[in-house]
Structure 1
């Protein structure tokens, strides 16, 4: 189904066709190259600063993980959220997280089978096969109507969300199961576009 919101088309895949634009009230379609159970990197890219409930900024340390800091300097704080098109629209916006360190080396974040978060050298792939992925997270609004706070569910570990946890005096970025019955501020993240 296609729709127009605020005078602009909402792009969707319909019967293996991808709505790619509207010109003079004429819908323009392309044949979709997505197969069942796949992700393909879309052109949508957001560079963001990520903050937790306490307004601490997420800083990546590719060798050690990521943590939230109240005071930060030139550390890696700008994350690129890269959107992926997928064949299962109900899960939310599929995104991957990449970061560049001070030497401009790119890393992508991923979830292990054990549910821990790591960074790997390189950029996120353009195409991912299968119905689960260690680098894909489903971005959803934290609460309905809030346009800047989100939660991120792992595509690999269904029911597990990015969260922060207090460890050794620091707020570390972790994966944790989330109860759907309660409002859990540890899985709430504010995205500020750069």
Structure 2
């Protein structure tokens, strides 16, 4: 469950069952692809719907830290430049994988979307994590992609 209107807890994911998932908004994320004039990866952006409103996900820099946040509105049809707070390069998590991906921020090399578990609330938080993808397998940046 994404909570885009609560900036203190912008992307917390609760464990829910399939029936709850069908009824709730703010759960499904849509992946939107963009064309890149200088191919460096597969550029994508994310949106979600909550209470009949569309929110797009972006990376926000606060000092040395980066975090995931949401803004109400639609994605632009075109993005100029080679870096954007809403664009991520979609990469396979492992060679030949079609189910699991990593999403690297175009703002900062080696910064990926990742999940961080909160053991006290049994939820996971979507974060931006610095990791060298090729040096060590980091399961936190492994994200399942379902076309349904």
- Residue 77 of structure 1 pairs with residue 77 of structure 2: no
Q: Which residue number corresponds to residue 52 of structure 2?
A: 104
Kindly provide the CA deviation profile for residues 123-167 of structure 1, in whole angstroms up to 9, marking residues without a partner as x.
Answer: 111111111100001001000011110000001122100001123
Give 1 or 2: higher helix fraction: 2
2:78 to 127, 138, 144: 127
Establish whether residue 87 from structure 1 lines up as the match of residue 37 from structure 2.
yes
Match of 1:144 among 80, 89, 95: 95
Equivalents in 1 of 2:125, 2:77: separation in Å?
29
Within the candidate set 171, 174, 188, 2:127 is matched to: 174
What is the TM-score of this pair, normalised by structure 1? Answer: 0.65
1:54-73, Cα deviation, whole Å (9 max, x unpaired): xxxxx211123122322152
> Scaled by the length of structure 2, what TM-score is found?
0.84
Q: Larger strand proportion, structure 1 or 2?
A: 1
Runs of 4+ in 1 over 6 A off after TM superposition: none
Gap regions ≥5 residues in structure 2: none
Secondary structure of 1:61's counterpart equals coil
Specify which of 68, 82, 101 is matched with residue 13 of structure 2.
68
Equivalences, count: 134
When Rg is computed on C-alpha atoms for both structures, the one with the higher figure is 1
- Aligned residue for 1:127, secondary structure, equals coil
